[in-house]
Amino acid sequence: MELSHIRFTIIRATTYAAALAVAFVTGITVTADLYLPLKDWLKLTFSHHWVGKGVLAAAVFIVATAVFSLLPVPADELKAKTLAQSTRKLVIVSLGGTLVIILFFIYEAFLKH
């Protein structure tokens, strides 16, 4: 099945943008717990720090999707390989972010005090 230029561009851009959004959420989650003025700003601006993280992550995703959609499209024979690579990167970033957050909260709950 041949992947159209537009479908390929959308899939690749959203996959990379999702990976970036996951990395952003991971980073802001840890940072907001270590640097309380950031958590306070999120609460003040968005009514709750979780809401703030969600709004900012959505903004990162939307902007990143627009930027990544500008990348050049490879030749037809490389499209499947390129999408496999972008999906693999998303999985790695997602698993890494999950591990970082779990380990951070284990540290916060049991080892810090």
SS3 track for the chain: CCCCHHHHHHHHHHHHHHHHHHHHHHHHHHHHHHCHHHHHHHHHHHCCHHHHHHHHHHHHHHHHHHHHCCCCCCCHHHHHHHHHHHHHHHHHHHHHHHHHHHHHHHHHHHHCC
Domain boundaries, the chain: 5-111
pLDDT tens digits, one per residue of 11-65: 999 999 999 999 999 999 999 999 999 999 999 999 999 999 999 999 999 999 9
Its pTM stands at 0.90
